């Protein structure tokens, strides 16, 4: 997935890779309601990201069991996120670890990678994987210009991402923690927000 910036993005001078999208209250349905999404790629062909605060009724331990991966520890308390509505049967591991260690990875930043190969799951189960990671099923995707249009329609607030929020903040606190970095209380935002 090459990183190139489309004309709309270039005009605004803003590529949203390694940014958070915070769902505005007007997004009331489905996985994006009250969501925070980490953007992994944003370029001329569109954008993709992982929703990081919508847990499935599924643990990492159950994933290992389903994939016949033997785990050294009990992973029944590790939630798996609903990463987005696209490819919901595919796993995505967002982690702080060199991308080059794994078979199929996208280097998002110097410190954060997105891996889709099973070798990272086997390593996590064996205690040899990255210490900081988030597991999701599915991803969020936008076609060319779609995210820019949603931003123009006030569907999202954006801010630079924080690895602390991704990897160290409990999932139910991530949206409010990111909003607080903007000085915003998501509970007080009207769903009729206008252009600033």
Enumerate residues 6+ apart whose C-beta is below 8 A from 92.
50, 83, 114, 115, 116, 135, 136, 137, 138, 139
Q: Which residues, other chains included, contact 166 with Cβ-Cβ below 8 Å and sequence gap of 6+?
A: 38, 52, 94, 112, 134, 174
User: Radius of gyration of the chain from Cα atoms?
Assistant: 17
**Domain range summary for the chain, segments of one domain joined by +:** 7-184
Q: Cα(124)–Cα(127) distance, rounded to whole angstroms? A: 5
From 136, 160, 129, select the one nearest 53 (Cα to Cα).
136
* pLDDT block averages, 10 residues each, the chain of length 196: 33 76 85 94 94 96 93 92 94 86 91 94 94 96 94 92 96 94 81 47
Beta bridge partners of 92: 136
Q: How far apart are CA 167 and CA 174, in angstroms?
A: 10
Task: Give the pLDDT score at 185.
Answer: 83
CA distance 54 to 6: 29
Which residues are within 8 A (CB) of 172 and not within 5 positions of it... i.e. 6 or more apart?
53
Cα gap 134→131, rounded to integer Å: 10
> Token pair for residue 189?
């935002």
* Cα(3)–Cα(186) distance, integer angstroms: 31
pLDDT at 6: 32
Residue 96, CB half-sphere, CA atoms under 13 Å: how many? 10
93: number of Cβ within 10 Å:
24
Comparing CA positions, the residue from 154, 127, 118, 111 lying closest to residue 18 is 111
> What is the pTM for the complete model shown?
0.87
CATH homologous superfamily of 7-184? VC0467-like (3.40.1740.10)
């Amino acid at each position: 997935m090459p990183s190139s910036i489309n004309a709309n993005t270039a005009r605004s001078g803003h590529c949203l890779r390694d940014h958070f999208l915070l769902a505005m209250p007007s997004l009331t349905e489905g996985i994006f309601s009250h969501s925070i999404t980490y953007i992994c790629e944003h370029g001329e062909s569109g954008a993709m990201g992982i929703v990081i605060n919508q847990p499935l009724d599924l643990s990492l331990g159950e994933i290992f069991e389903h994939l016949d991966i033997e785990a050294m520890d009990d992973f029944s308390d590790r939630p798996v996120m609903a990463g987005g509505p696209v490819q919901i049967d595919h796993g995505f591991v967002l982690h702080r670890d060199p991308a080059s260690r794994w078979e199929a990875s996208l280097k998002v930043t110097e410190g954060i990678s997105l891996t889709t190969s099973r070798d990272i799951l086997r390593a996590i189960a064996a205690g040899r994987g990255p210490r900081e990671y988030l597991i999701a099923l599915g991803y969020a995707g936008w076609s060319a210009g779609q995210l820019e249009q949603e931003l123009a329609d006030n569907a999202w607030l954006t801010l630079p991402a924080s690895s602390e929020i991704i990897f160290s903040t409990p999932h139910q606190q991530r949206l409010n923690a990111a909003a607080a970095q903007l000085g915003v209380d998501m509970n007080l935002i009207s769903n009729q927000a206008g252009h600033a």
